[in-house]
Amino acid sequence: MKNLLLALCFVVVASSSAQITKSGQGYLFRMKHQAGSVFKYGVVSSLAGTGANGQPMTFTLPMIWKVVGVKAGVATIDTTVGPVSVGKSPMVNAVKNRIQLDVRGRVVGQGGAGQQVTPAFPEKAIKVGQSWQASAPVELPMQGEKKIQATYVFKGIKVVNGKQMAELAVTTGGQASGTGSMFLLVSDGSLFRSTLKMNLKMVAPDGVPTNYKVTADIKRQ
């Protein structure tokens, strides 16, 4: 269970900062970080097995991104995910990584498990209604690193809580199929909120398949 919770953390946090600017008839999505910036988020997620003995559970965790430097468009970011708690009981210690991302959200250099926490953005501007696809490696217990495929549809610019935001509809596939939404602040491009519902398919060493229903709600703090 500990390894499963840790793997799920890396699945549900696949989002971060981006700069959204008007470009022709569309909008250009790019990373724009400043040294010293700190992004804090809270995650509330539920996990339920679909088998006869599956019991639903809810876990919470904080996430912190600290931008330690930016050079030639590449940001160096210290990330802290966790600790993961179920109720008031801690289950998994915080996991810390240092990652480097280019302006399109692509990992620069060698990336390990759980290091790519943002989707790669398209090269060209995106019009409302258009979509792009991206994949991210996640470490699944008993199966190692797998690719989670996702499609992002740009729904347009909306006003939420008095602020302009870009809305994305998210569809995931592969072993973690599901749907959700993501809101990015237009002013600084940072993630404001995302929601996701997934069916996570796992295979035990003995070959027995197990399905989990996962929901995740990430909010800026």
pLDDT band at 114 (very low <50, low <70, confident <90, very high): very low
Position 54 scores a pLDDT of 60
The model carries a pTM of 0.81
- Number of structural domains in the chain: 1
Residue 110 belongs to domain with CATH number: 2.40.128
pLDDT band at 112 (very low <50, low <70, confident <90, very high): very low
Position 131 scores a pLDDT of 96
Please tell me the distance from the alpha carbon of residue 104 to that of residue 106, in angstroms, as a whole number.
Answer: 6
Q: Point out the least confidently predicted range of 11-15, 44-48, 99-103, 189-193.
A: 11-15
Sign of the Cα torsion 35, 22, 105, 108 reads negative
Residue ranges making up the domain that contains 94: 2-220
Position 144 scores a pLDDT of 47
Position 118 scores a pLDDT of 58
Q: Chain centroid to CA 43: how far?
A: 11
